[in-house]
Chain A
Amino acid sequence: MVAQLMSETEADAVFHALADTTRRDIVRRAIRREQSISSLAERYTMSFAAVQKHVAVLERSTLIVKERRGKEQIVRANLDTLRRATRLLDEFETIWRDRVVRIDALLAEETSHDETPPQKAER
């Protein structure tokens, strides 16, 4: 069982934050390396203020962490939040792997029935 690690409110913030292409792009860049908001702003056609607004939404969602360093504001990804989402996807991968194993067993059972006299019924 996975413990409840995020409240409804937090989760809402995360998914609201990720619902925007620019914000997803900012997160991807912030995962690769920490960077200043001004260098991020150079990547987009929108204004510095608009980028700053996106960053604020991401910060509220705990997806990125912002810190002031001298004159610059540096952002980096909060790997904890991202890791958690990844771990949950891992759990679902297991479910599907197991389903595939069962499908395969079903198919194998049929093949063996075709080729040899029926073996004992499984169920």
Chain B
Amino acid sequence: MPVISTDKNTDALSLTFVAEFDADVERIWQLWSDPRQLERWWGPPTWPATFTQHDVVVGGESRYHMTGPEGEKSRGWWRITAVDAPTHLAFDDGFAEENGEPNGDMPVVHGSVSLEDVDGRTRMTTVNQFESVDQMDQLIQMGMDEGMRLAMGQIDELLATARA
């Protein structure tokens, strides 16, 4: 498991997550900047993500949807707030309406990613800043995590196949 630490700050409602990968910084940057790679890990296998727009420049926007087991779609958007390729990216992530446009009534998570070379490996630090406990509840109620749990078994399989 490449996760090396998590830091939950209840007061500040933020989650800092540090993981290390056996790949260089450029490679990990691609996972974020190339929509075809991003969609392979952003959503769980049961709710895979499709990015129809992904514009990694400050002020740029992304549009994506996650498709559920019954074919239902959950739509989201990003607005890029900072880019310093290949080491830093910050964005707001929110829910979108049917037409793909941001839904103003739904929570927005402020995300940031920093990539750092550590002896040829890459340390990835992601910070998620939530605006309120209520907002976090809302996100969880949207089923954001349910698919993730279902996916756990499949991930194990995937890893086993990759190692075989």
Dominant SS among interface residues on chain A? helix
Give the distance in Å from the alpha carbon of A15 to the alpha carbon of B42 in the complex. 29
Establish whether residues A94 and B163, one from each chain, have CB atoms under 8 Å apart when the complex forms: no
Establish whether residues B8 and A86, one from each chain, have CB atoms under 8 Å apart when the complex forms: yes
Q: Is B99 an interface residue (CB 8 A)?
A: no
Dominant SS among interface residues on chain B? mixed
Supposing A85-B13, A88-B133 touch, asked if A105 and B21 sit within 8 A by C-beta, the answer is no
Establish whether residues A105 and B10, one from each chain, have CB atoms under 8 Å apart when the complex forms: no
Q: Which residue of B lies closest to A97 (CB)?
A: B3
A66 to chain B, nearest CB (A): 19
30 sample A-B contacts, Cβ–Cβ < 8 Å, listed by A number: A2-B140, A4-B137, A4-B141, A5-B137, A6-B134, A6-B137, A8-B134, A14-B132, A15-B131, A85-B13, A86-B10, A88-B136, A88-B137, A88-B140, A91-B136, A91-B140, A92-B15, A96-B126, A97-B1, A98-B44, A98-B148, A98-B151, A98-B152, A99-B41, A101-B159, A103-B28, A104-B21, A104-B159, A112-B162, A122-B161
Residues in B lying within 8 Å of A, measured CB to CB: 1-3, 6, 8-11, 13, 15, 17, 19, 21-23, 27-28, 31, 37, 40-42, 44, 124, 126, 128, 130-137, 139-141, 143-146, 148-149, 151-152, 155, 158-159, 161-164
Supply 20 further A-B pairs (C-beta < 8 A) apart from A93-B15, A100-B2, A101-B159: A24-B11, A84-B133, A85-B13, A86-B8, A88-B133, A88-B140, A91-B145, A92-B15, A92-B139, A94-B145, A96-B6, A96-B15, A97-B1, A102-B40, A105-B162, A106-B37, A106-B41, A107-B23, A108-B163, A112-B163
